[in-house]
């Protein structure tokens, strides 16, 4: 089998969904080599990400392609390593770096991978003018496919994300977290896991808390994650009188273990191109209550692996530095049509959470259903096989 040399291009500064997906993919590929040789061009890189790449023994360069010298250096590296495919991750806004320069430097195939950039504002005219320089487009959901066609006139193939199945934790590890969080095994725990920024819709989660507490006054509410809206969200919880009922845990490396302590995971996103957290919850065998928007409608089977909630409430636009703006439109999960960005209906959100808390056996079965579906459709092995098939198709074509 002929070797195929693939160079991945992206920014590597923080371990969010796109970055984590690539690193997990590279690690998985290193455990079972099959003739696909991986390289990385990091437009920028953090010390932590550098150490992770070095530990994987993946050849990489750091090059933002912003000067003639850097373009020449990139071209030299491409020729030296005989790169067959440039795989650009979530860089739709930068067609000069991902389309024009790679073609000028002799890379025969450009593969663009959309994972959420198209929801944000992008220079659509330049993208449309250079669409012909990309040899293939893939995206992580049907919603992303719809958005690419709607905003950029791009036809793409859907390759759903693949999520690493977590290693089994020792009972003592889980017990230690219970003690650290002052929880008991019989507590009813509702959780959110994600970045505290506009797209994640955390205000809806906080607004839901007093409604759920009327039915279950002893329920515990966790928010796992950090971000530019944390202080604002804590103040919002205080204004609703529920600050004492919500534990803000900040960023936790053991977030996926903490999920195992939750009875239900809430994903109240305003926009969510795919929703890795839904699959992570599935591998923890937990049901998810989520907004019926974008890719979330593809990761949850309503009533079987969790619940989808209609989005009906106004989402406020933020303009403060560091906080993401709302997209101009999102994809409605019910019919696949574009619509304005909205928060999930608070009453529905609370009602579905209460249903999970009140029927633990049904909720447990939903979690098992989610686990089986995630193993079949959203595994890292399936993801890697899909990509390898596309790589070989491109070079053989």
**pLDDT tens digits along 339-392:** 999 999 999 999 999 999 999 999 999 999 999 999 999 999 999 999 999 999
Residue 123 has pLDDT above 70, yes or no: no
For residue 106, pLDDT over 60 is answered with: yes
What's the pLDDT at 15? 81
CB contact at 8 A, 389 and 37: no
Query: What does residue 254 show for φ and ψ, rounded to 5 degrees?
Result: -95, 30
CB hemisphere CA count around 211 (13 angstroms): 16
- pLDDT score of 168 more than 80: no
What confidence score (pLDDT) does residue 323 get?
Answer: 87
3-state DSSP assignment of residue 261: coil
> What residues have CB less than 8 Å from 191, skipping those under 6 apart?
221, 222, 223, 224, 258, 259, 261, 262, 264, 265, 266
Tokens (6 digits) for 18: 């796109």
Which one, of 379, 374, 242, lies nearest residue 298 by Cα? 374
Tell me the CB-side half-sphere exposure of residue 370, using CA atoms within 13 A. Answer: 31
pLDDT digits (tens, 9 = 90+) for 247-267: 999 999 899 999 999 999 999
Cα distances (Å, whole numbers) of residue 374 to 46, 135, 170: 31, 30, 23
Residue spans of the domains in the chain: they are 4-162+380-396, 171-377
| pLDDT mean over 77-88 | 98
| Domain 171-377 annotated CATH 3.10.105.10 | no
Backbone angles phi, psi at 247, to 5 degrees: -100, 115
Cβ of 23: how many Cβ atoms within 10 Å? 20
Give the CA count within 13 Å in the CB-facing half-sphere of 344. 36
Question: What confidence tens digit (pLDDT) does each residue in 169-197 have?
Answer: 666 777 888 888 888 889 999 999 999 99
Which residues, in sequence order, are CB contacts of 47 under 8 Å at separation 6+? none
What the block records as the tokens of 332 is 């409605």
Q: What is the pLDDT of residue 125?
A: 83
Query: What separation, in Å, do the N-terminal and C-terminal C-alpha atoms of the chain show?
Result: 15
Alpha-carbon distance 282 to 305, whole Å?
A: 8
Per-residue pLDDT, 32: 87
CA max distance for the chain: 66
Q: What is the mean pLDDT of the chain?
A: 94
Q: Which residues contact residue 15 at a Cβ distance below 8 angstroms, ignoring those fewer than 6 apart?
A: 23, 48, 49
- The number of CA neighbours under 13 Å toward the Cβ of 152 is 30
CA Rg value for the chain: 22
- Residue 322: pLDDT band (50, 70, 90) is confident
pTM: 0.94
Please count the residues of the chain: 397
* Stretch among 46-50, 79-83, 168-172 having the lowest mean pLDDT: 168-172
Domain covering 4-162+380-396: architecture: 3-Layer(aba) Sandwich (3.40)
**Tens of pLDDT, residues 224-242:** 999 999 999 999 999 999 9
Distance CA 343, CA 5 (A): 43
The answer to whether the CB of 136 falls within 8 A of the CB of 154 is no
Section 145-158 average pLDDT: 95
pLDDT tens digit sequence for 301-311? 999 999 999 99
The pLDDT-based confidence of 51 (bands split at 50, 70, 90) is very high
Exposed / middle / buried, residue 33 (Cβ in 10 Å: 0-12, 13-18, 19+): exposed
In this predicted structure, the answer to whether residue 1 has a pLDDT above a threshold of 90 is no
* Model pLDDT for residues 52-75, shown as the tens digit of each residue: 999 999 999 999 999 999 999 999
Gap between the Cα atoms of 277 and 265, Å rounded: 9
Name the H helices within 271-345.
Answer: 276-283, 296-299
Reduced to 3 states, what is the DSSP secondary structure of residue 143?
A: helix
List all residues 6 or more positions away from 304 whose beta carbon is below 8 Å from its beta carbon: 366, 369
What is the pLDDT, as a whole number, of residue 126?
87
Instruction: Say yes or no: do domains 4-162+380-396 and 171-377 share a fold.
Output: yes
Contacts (Cβ under 8 Å, ≥6 apart) of 230:
196, 248, 250
pLDDT at 171: 66
Report how far residue 279's alpha carbon sits from residue 130's, in angstroms, rounded to the nearest whole number. 34
Q: Is the pLDDT of residue 97 over 80?
A: yes
């Amino acid at each position: 089998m002929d070797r195929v040399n693939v160079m991945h291009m992206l920014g590597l500064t923080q371990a969010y969904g796109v970055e984590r997906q690539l690193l997990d993919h590279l690690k998985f590929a290193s455990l079972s080599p099959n003739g696909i040789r991986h390289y990385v061009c990091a437009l920028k890189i953090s010390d932590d990400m550098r150490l992770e790449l070095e530990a994987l023994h993946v050849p990489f360069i750091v090059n933002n392609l912003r000067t003639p010298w850097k373009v020449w250096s990139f071209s030299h590296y491409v020729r030296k390593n005989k790169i067959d495919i440039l795989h650009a991750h979530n860089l739709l806004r930068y067609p000069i770096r991902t389309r024009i320069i790679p073609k000028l430097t002799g890379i025969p195939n450009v593969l663009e991978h959309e994972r959420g950039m198209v929801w944000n504002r992008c220079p659509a005219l330049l993208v449309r003018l250079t669409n012909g320089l990309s040899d293939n487009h893939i995206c992580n959901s049907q919603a992303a496919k719809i958005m690419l066609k709607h905003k950029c006139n791009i036809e793409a193939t859907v390759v759903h994300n693949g999520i690493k199945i977590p290693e089994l934790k020792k009972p003592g590890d889980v017990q230690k977290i219970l003690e650290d969080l002052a929880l008991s095994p019989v507590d009813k725990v509702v959780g959110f896991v994600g970045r505290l920024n506009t797209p994640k819709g955390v205000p809806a989660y906080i607004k839901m808390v007093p409604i759920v507490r009327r039915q279950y006054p002893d329920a515990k509410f966790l928010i796992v994650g950090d971000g530019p809206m944390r202080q604002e969200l804590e103040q919002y919880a205080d204004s609703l009188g529920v600050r004492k009922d919500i534990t803000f845990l900040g960023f936790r490396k053991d977030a996926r273990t903490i999920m195992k302590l939750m009875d239900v995971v809430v994903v109240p996103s305003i926009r969510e191109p795919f929703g890795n957290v839904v699959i992570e919850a599935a591998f923890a065998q937990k049901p998810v209550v989520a907004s019926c928007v974008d890719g979330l409608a593809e990761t949850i089977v309503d009533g079987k692996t969790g619940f989808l909630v209609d989005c009906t409430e106004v989402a406020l636009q933020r303009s403060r530095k560091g906080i993401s703006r709302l997209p101009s439109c999102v994809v409605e999960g019910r019919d696949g049509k574009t619509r304005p960005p909205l928060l999930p209906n608070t009453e529905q959100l609370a009602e579905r959470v209460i249903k999970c808390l009140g029927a633990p056996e049904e909720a447990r079965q939903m979690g098992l259903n989610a686990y089986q579906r995630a193993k079949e459709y959203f595994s890292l092995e399936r993801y890697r096989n899909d990509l390898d098939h596309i790589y070989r198709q491109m070079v053989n074509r």
